[in-house]
Structure 1
């Protein structure tokens, strides 16, 4: 049975979090003399001299309407990478506990675990890029605190089978982290709506992909209020700056524009899926639910360099397990995609 208290590191469970001036102040005021800010303003705008809302409630409330979850079930991180790091620091005892990843997958799960001195167990996806459930079951031990899944997966682009994910959620009693960075480009239903059914589930999303706000560094974690409270204990007081909060709020008013961008990118993805296989240098284009394609080519390293010589940068993934001679190609604008096809 899932028991959150048993999973939290004891020092985190007993941690008294830092209390900032803005955490302690509640209500309305005209004169702020509590946080040692510069009362004269700043060279940019008068209001950037004040610390931002440490809990980003205005952004969370707007996200709550869009995502259909309560604000208290949302954590905002300085990119999803901060969410990953905080989860590891919350639940994994260094040099004792372990996590499981399913390569090929997003590289920061392993990097963050290594930074936190947490052992990484790797259970490769099947040749069809799906979960190997018997191997996962065998890999889990008493110190396996988390399993990281990415769906749609990076770098393969496909979605993991829903029945396999649910089998894992129902039979593993650690934390399951579902990274949905690319969910907006997929027809698959987000697991954000499943939080009440799975108290051990954490869903990661981001404003960097479909929302086009990679430079702002705003990642999201959706989970039970209990898990969100643990993450809030650990995060730096002002981890999302004021400018990012303001720009995120403006962007979140433009849902129709974002949906149109998604439509165009999916349309261009379909075009590339149809035209790339016609090229002699391309051996296989893997199906994708993301804003990129994994493409098996003849001599990936040489082709990568040839494209670079023409000013076109793709990602060489040929050194990644199950991705021999593969390039990962992000879907660009119509013009960029035409230039890519011409170059190939």
Structure 2
């Protein structure tokens, strides 16, 4: 794959901004290169623009070379950058499954890029041939989300890899919830598919939604393009410091994940037992999609009780559904008790 054949022409010729910290590597005693205030250390200094220390820790955690990692302000940043780098506004298009995470559409709309949506089956399964059939010579990116949001299920691995093997553009697999689906990541397949980009996040299993830290894993060439067009200091020093601190808590995170998976299975069964629940869809994420009678009415009732879930009834293939995040055992019990009052 010649990455330059996919890139927008202006991105090919773009001369990226060079910050003071980009032009120097190594140790120094005095920094007089970036017009910083000498007081109020360490916050007076610009953060590492390439987040090298954080990437090294993630590299060891994920068993992926640091040069194959891009860090962004949430996963939304690499989503936006990929569309801006590869899709010519008003000319190129992206293909995505439907239903799925809404930011692919929003990022494409902002850039003036067409989105071609391919419906999942009624059981939320992926059809590789239909997805490939929706693409043409102007399709630069295919977005897949696995485990998918809002459906919760993991997409078929063989189907995703078939798409990666057949498609001439980039295949972006968003694995935001992958920590709750052990053994289903495509990270180990990166080396065989140079057009594959995998997104992960610290917002879910790692409990870091508030610091906004997302990851993209891809070939060195693709990572280089993302670094070329990102804002110079896209991750602030506080985010980097907190990430370094929390990355040392892998054992704690594993305990959280184990507890949440157990709660997910328990909640799936208890919700199924409620007479107004039609179906609880299988989930590999930290939430459940639940089909029920009068989902909007139940949503409004829960709001009055001070319990907030997500009404997904207007989403394609999700009529009369609520998306319920798995909380602590205490929070889940409060929800169940409120729902039992409707019986």
Give me the TM-score of the superposition, normalised by structure 1: 0.97
Which residue does the alignment assign to 1:33? 32
Which of 152, 155, 170 is the equivalent residue of 1:160? 155
**Is 1:309 paired with 2:309?**
no
Q: Give distance in 2, aligned partners of 1:343 and 1:281.
A: 13
User: Is 1:202 equivalent to 2:197 in the alignment?
Assistant: yes
Q: Cα deviations across residues 206-248 of structure 1 (Å, max 9, x unaligned)?
A: 0000000000000000000000000000000000000100000
1:87-166 equivalence runs, <5 A: 87-166=82-161
Give the Cα separation in 2 of the matches to 1:97 and 1:121.
Answer: 11
- For each residue in 1:112-157, what CA deviation from the matched residue of structure 2 results, as whole angstroms up to 9, or x when unmatched? 0000000110111111111122322321100000000000000000
Which 4+ runs in 1 deviate beyond 3 A? none
| Cα distance in 2, alignment partners of residues 231 and 315 from structure 1 | 33
> 2:77 matched to which residue of 1?
82
Shift of 1:323: 0.3
Q: Residue by residue, what CA displacement relative to the aligned partner does 1:27-73 show, whole Å, maximum 9, x if unpaired?
A: 111111111111122xxxx2100000000000000000000110000
Other structure's SS at 1:239 match: coil
Q: Displacement of 1:188 after TM fit? A: 3.4
Matched, 1:192 2:183: no
Q: Conserved in 2, the CA contact under 8 Å of 1:3 and 1:173?
A: no
Q: CA RMSD in A?
A: 0.7
Deviations 1:307-331 (A, max 9, x none): 0000000000000000000000000
CA displacement 1:88-114 (0-9 Å, x = unmatched): 011000110000010110000000000
Give the structure 2 partner of residue 243 of structure 1: 238
1:286 aligned residue (281, 299, 309): 281
Residue 262 of structure 2 is aligned to residue 263 of structure 1: no
**Matched positions, count:** 339
Contact conserved, 2:280 with 2:288, CA < 8 A, in 1?
yes
Q: Which residue of 1 aligns with 2:66?
A: 71
Post-superposition offset of 1:170: 1.0
Match of 1:182 in 2: 177
Structure 1: runs of 5 or more not aligned: none
- Deviation, 1:189, is 2.7
Matches of 2:129 and 2:28, distance apart in 1: 59
Within 1, Cα distance between the matches of 2:159 and 2:26?
47
CA distance in structure 2 between the aligned counterparts of 1:136 and 1:274, rounded to whole angstroms: 33
- C-alpha distance in 2 between matches for 1:309 and 1:85: 36
Task: Mark the runs of 5 or more structure 2 residues left unpaired by the alignment.
Answer: none
Aligned equivalents of 2:176, 2:129: Cα separation in 1: 26
Q: What's the counterpart of residue 324 of structure 2?
A: 329
Match of residue 12 from structure 2: 13
Secondary structure, counterpart of 1:88 in structure 2: helix
Which of 271, 275, 282 is 2:270 aligned to?
275
Q: What's the offset of the Cα at 1:173? A: 1.2
**TM norm structure 2:** 0.98
How far 1:4 sits from its partner (Å)?
1.2
Residue number in structure 2 paired with 1:341: 336
Matches of 1:231 and 1:187, distance apart in 2: 28
